[in-house]
Structure 1
């Protein structure tokens, strides 16, 4: 047996799969599906299976942006952003991505309003996500934008009360996106 000095690449995997027939590939996919919850989530989202392919992604965002403070859970911006990045990489559907981004913003603003957060990095991440959400929404066909624009408008209105420059940041992003897209 020859040992490799470098890490295997996709080319190596592809070469190993050359002799697989359909049954072998289905068996491999079945094994991957059974091995990890993330694999199931990926395959369900990629193929649009189940009632709500975004539900597992939203559950992760919810956990990390609206933790159970009575159980000493903490919030984590990085952990809340990860499912959005995963969805973008795994599926890339702009409408689903917009929904996850708006969900993130709604939860961050809701948790901050209800519990009170005093964390500049948390609010910087919220402002960045709000800008990304607006930009993503504006790339959707016009008929699909209205619902998201309305939700982002509600988030913007609620965010005015948070302090830490959130209200003015939301207003600046709203104005910038309006100028960029002519709305």
Structure 2
């Protein structure tokens, strides 16, 4: 038998193709039971699209929890929050849901620094980078139609970050002003 490191998807795929439906369902059930991450992924991937908002709220909770858990202080494990956004997006294909989670990350980052004071450079970089990615998505053909939906929240982020030091407030202001100008130009052109 090959070592685990030598096994490839093609090897597994051959075995899975030989399995019957019941056997595959049993494997999926075991994966579902194995971890909370697996459960969320499978639910997002296969749940009826009418139920997707309920699952997205679970992912939003993961993001918010890194900043403001129900008890104690946020751990600021960026990778946990960022992975939740990535996992939700890849499993669901829900474009606006991904944007919703990204903006939730930024809103909670701004709220966190206003609540607890100056953080560190990595913190500000992570929050800014997520907002920058969000704005890039807004500029895409698929994202443009969602600008009116997110506009007020963007303006609130700009207002709430106004007094934040280390150039963060200024950087946020510039980024949101650029997106405002972009959409003013789009409106003029249409």
Post-superposition shift, 1:125? 0.9
Who is 1:119 aligned against?
A: 120
Gaps of 5+ in 1: none
Q: For the structure 1 residues 133 and 117, does the alpha-carbon distance in structure 2 shift closer, same or farther, using more than 3 Å as the test?
A: same
8 Å contact 1:94–1:136 — kept in the other structure?
A: no
Who is 1:133 aligned against?
A: 134
Who is 1:29 aligned against?
A: 28
8 Å contact 2:154–2:176 — kept in the other structure?
A: no
Post-superposition shift, 1:44? 1.5
Bigger mean CA deviation after superposition, 89-98 or 169-178:
169-178
- Structure 2 residue matching 1:53: 3-state secondary structure: helix
Gaps of 5+ in 2: none
Bigger mean CA deviation after superposition, 130-139 or 120-129:
130-139
Question: What TM-score, normalized by structure 2, do the two folds share?
Answer: 0.82
What pairs up with 1:86-101 in 2 under 5 angstroms? 86-101=87-102
- Structure 1 residue matching 2:54: 3-state secondary structure: coil
Who is 2:149 aligned against?
A: 147
Post-superposition shift, 1:142? 4.4
Who is 2:11 aligned against?
A: 12
Post-superposition shift, 1:86? 2.1
Question: What TM-score, normalized by structure 1, do the two folds share?
Answer: 0.85
Structure in which a larger fraction of residues adopt helix:
2
Alignment: residue pair count: 181
Bigger mean CA deviation after superposition, 55-64 or 42-51:
42-51
8 Å contact 2:114–2:164 — kept in the other structure?
A: yes
Post-superposition shift, 1:52? 1.5
What pairs up with 1:101-112 in 2 under 5 angstroms? 101-112=102-113
Post-superposition shift, 1:138? 3.3
Post-superposition shift, 1:67? 4.5
**RMSD (Å), alpha carbons:** 2.4
Task: Tell me which of the two structures has the higher relative contact order, counting C-alpha pairs closer than 8 angstroms and 6 or more residues apart.
Answer: 1
Matched residues in 2 for 1:88 and 1:109: separation? 23
Deviations 1:40-97 (A, max 9, x none): 10012123454522122222211212246x7365323233222112223333322111
Who is 2:170 aligned against?
A: 168
Deviations 1:95-149 (A, max 9, x none): 1110000100111111111122321110111111111112223333544331212
